[in-house]
C-alpha cells in the first residue's frame, strides 16, 4: 500500500512512516519543503539500515504526497491543519485520511488540550474535507518508541471513525507495527477523548520522566 505522511518530517510522521515501511508499505514523506521531505526519507531509510527497506521511502511536497497515496496520515501541527487541508483537500477526496493531531498548548510547562469548535481536530478536518474517509488514531502512541527499529512498544492504538471499512483498514495497519494493537474506539466524535488523553499522557510522562502510553486490558 502507498501511504502519504502529510507533514511527515516531524517525530510522529517519521515514526509512523518508519513502522509502516518496516511492514512493507511504500511511504511518501510530505512537507511544505520538498527538499526537506526527500532528506527525511533518506534519513529514515538509513535508520532502518536495510537495503530492502530503503526503496520503500520517497519524499514530495504535501500536495504530491497526498495525490500519490492510497492512505494519508495527517501529522502537521494543529496550528497548520486547516491551511494544509485547504492546499491538499482535493487530493484527499475519497481516500482514507488518518488524523493524528492533538490540539495542545503549553502553560507553565503543563500540556493543556485545546477544544476545537467542532469538538475535536478530527471532526474539524472532516468538516473541511467531507469527501475524505476520516479516521482518528495514534494520538497516545509515543513517537520516540516508533522511531526505534526492532523495539516493541506493547501499546494500543485507539482508532475512531464513522466509516467501518476505513476503521478496519487503519486497525490493520496498527496491528502490523511492532508491538502495537489496533483497538476499535467507536465513532469519530470519540476523537475528542483521544486528543484530550494526549495532554494527560504528556503531563504524566513529564512527572515520571517516562514514555508511557495506553493499553486497554480485558478485551
The predicted model scores a pTM of 0.95
List C-alpha distances in Å: 40 to 55, 94, 160: 13, 27, 29
Q: Cα(66)–Cα(74) distance, rounded to whole angstroms?
A: 10
Q: Per the structure, how many domains does the chain have?
A: 1
pLDDT per 10-residue tile (average), the chain, 219 residues:
97 96 96 98 90 89 98 97 98 98 93 93 98 98 87 93 98 97 98 96 94 94
* Position 39 in a domain: yes
Residue 217 is assigned to a structural domain of this protein:
no
pLDDT of residue 197: 95
Q: How far is CA 4 from the centre of its chain?
A: 10
Q: Cα separation of 101 and 21, whole Å?
A: 21
Asked, for residue 219, whether it belongs to a domain, the answer is no
The CATH number that applies at residue 67 is 3.40.50.720
* Rounded Cα gap, residues 161 and 184, in angstroms: 9
H/E segment holding residue 184: strand 180-184
Taking the CB of residue 89, how many other CB atoms lie within 10 A of it?
18
Domain span at residue 58?
Answer: 2-208
Cα dist from 100 to 42, 55, 188, 189, whole Å: 23, 25, 12, 14
For residue 216, tell me if it sits in a domain: no
| 213 found inside a domain | no
Residue 215 is assigned to a structural domain of this protein: no
In angstroms, the CA 136 to CA 171 distance is 11
**Number of Cα atoms under 13 Å in the Cβ half of residue 197:** 18
Amino acid at each position: 500500500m502507498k501511504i502519504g505522511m502529510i507533514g511527515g518530517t516531524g517525530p510522529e510522521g517519521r515514526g509512523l512512516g518508519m513502522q509502516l515501511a518496516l511492514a512493507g508499505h511504500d511511504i511518501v514523506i510530505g512537507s511544505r519543503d520538498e527538499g526537506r521531505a526527500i532528506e527525511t526519507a533518506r534519513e529514515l531509510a538509513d535508520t532502518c539500515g536495510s537495503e530492502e527497506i530503503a526503496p520503500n521511502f520517497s519524499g514530495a511536497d504535501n500536495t504530491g504526497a497526498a495525490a500519490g497515496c492510497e492512505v494519508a496520515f495527517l501529522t502537521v501541527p494543529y496550528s497548520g491543519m486547516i491551511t494544509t487541508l485547504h492546499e491538499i483537500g482535493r487530493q484527499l477526496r475519497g481516500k482514507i485520511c488518518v488524523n493524528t493531531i492533538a490540539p495542545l498548548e503549553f502553560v507553565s510547562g503543563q500540556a493543556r488540550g485545546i477544544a476545537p469548535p467542532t469538538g475535536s481536530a478530527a471532526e474539524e478536518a472532516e468538516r473541511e474535507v467531507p469527501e475524505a474517509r476520516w479516521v482518528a488514531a495514534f494520538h497516545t502512541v509515543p513517537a520516540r518508541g516508533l522511531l526505534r527499529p526492532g523495539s516493541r512498544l506493547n501499546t494500543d492504538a485507539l482508532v475512531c471513525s464513522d466509516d467501518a471499512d476505513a476503521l478496519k483498514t487503519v486497525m490493520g495497519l496498527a496491528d502490523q507495527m511492532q508491538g502495537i494493537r489496533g483497538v476499535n474506539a467507536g465513532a469519530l466524535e470519540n476523537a475528542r477523548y483521544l486528543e484530550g488523553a494526549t495532554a494527560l499522557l504528556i503531563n504524566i510522562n513529564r512527572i515520571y520522566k517516562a514514555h508511557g502510553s495506553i493499553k486497554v486490558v480485558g478485551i
